[in-house]
Structure formats: structure tokens, C-alpha cells
Amino acid sequence: MSQKLIIFGTGDVAQLAHYYFSSDSEYEVSAFTVDSAYLNEPEFCGLPVVAFENVKSHYPPSDYSLFIALSYAKLNEVRKQKFEAGLALGYELASYVSSRATVLNEYAFGRNCFILEDNTIQPFSRIGDNVTLWSGNHIGHHSCTGSHTFISSHVVVSGGVRIGEQCFVGVNATLRDHVTIGDRCVIGAGAILLSDAEENGVYAATPTERSRVPSSRLRSL
């Protein structure tokens, strides 16, 4: 028997959440909700959209679960605020874990997690509340990912890593074993962390520069 679900948001992440929950979970998406200031259309993905201020009267927490489908805006602060607001209204916060992910940590996930396909999650790792793991990441054994964190695609989190709350880890970043990442850190795309990162740190890889030789002069391509 399917469980009824309300999704917060009407952007790209909400559309993806609707797809994943509808095609690969026991949840049935019933409606969407946004703050009244952002309620511009009565429907999204063919389903009704209601103001978050009134969602409880339309879709009571006794009958519906809630999923906060937001990205890493303001270093995950917006998603965190709506997560806490949903709990305050009495909703159960649903998580999605892809059937195409390799999950070996006995599903040690928190609430409102969004775990997409091709993630490898090794034994004894733990993932907090409201964490997004986009596709194709390696989450190493005995690692711990703090709540309200967003990990992009093809990130390598080695064994024994500690990632704090409200962090962002960009695509193709590598965190070596047993490093600790403080709260609210931004790890840029392609960055390699070999030692601990203090909270509120920003770690960016050096971008590739354009060659002085134009492509029209290449001889071996």
C-alpha cells in the first residue's frame, strides 16, 4: 500500500523528486507546496500546489508525509529552515534512497535524505538528516555526514571522514581518509583535501586555463 507524500518546492529538484518518488518508491505524490509568496501556478507536474501556510489543513500530517525538495541555496540554510518548519507542523519527513544505489550501511540515514542512483555507501557509515547525495558518489566506511549537507556527483569520501553540518561538496572532490570537515564548509569542484578543514572554510581547486595554442593549430587531434 502506497504512502501519500507532499513535496515542498516547484523547481527542478522538486520535479526530480516527483520522478524518483513516483517511479522508485512506495510513496504516491499527492500535491506540492510552496510559501504563498512563491505560489504562481495552481498546478505542478499535473498535481495541485497549495500554500505552505495552509498545507496542514489541506493535507494533514496524520495522513501525509512531507519531502523538502530544495537545493543548497544559502549553503543549505533554506532547506534546513523548511525541514525544521515541516517537523514543527508535525509531518514525518520522508527520505528517498534509490534502488540503484549500493547501500551497505544498514540504511543508517536520517530524515529527508535524497540519495540518487549509483551511490556506493559502505558499511558503518552514517548519514544525518536532510542530506542530499547526488548520483555516483563513494561514501567510505566509518564515515559520518552531518545534517543539512549537499554532496554533488562523483565525490570520493574516504574511510573515517567526518563531514560537518551544512556543508557543500562539489563534483569530483576527494576527501582523504580520516579528515574532518568543519560545519558550513564549501569544498569546490575537483578539490582534494588531505588534511582537516576548519568550519566556514572555502576550498577551491585551481581551474584549468585555456592553452595559448588554439584548437585550429593542434596537430595530434
Read off the pLDDT of residues 161-219 as tens digits, 9 standing for 90 and up: 999 999 999 999 999 999 999 999 999 999 999 999 999 999 999 999 998 989 988 88
Q: pLDDT (tens digit, 9 = 90+) per residue, 118-172?
A: 999 999 999 999 999 999 999 999 999 999 999 999 999 999 999 999 999 999 9
The amino acid present at 193, given as its one-letter code, is L
pTM of the entire predicted model: 0.95
Which candidate, 115, 105, 191, 183, places its Cα nearest to that of 155?
A: 191
In the chain, where the domains are located: 3-88, 95-198
CATH no. for 3-88: 3.40.50.20
Name the nearest CA neighbour of 75 among 179, 170, 10, 191. Answer: 170
Residue 161's Cα: distance from chain center in Å? 18
**Do the first three CATH levels of 3-88 and 95-198 match, i.e. the same topology?**
no
- 33 by Cβ neighbours in 10 Å (0-12 / 13-18 / 19+) ranks as buried
Class (C level, CATH) for 95-198: mainly beta
CA-nearest of 56, 11, 7, 15 to 33 is 7
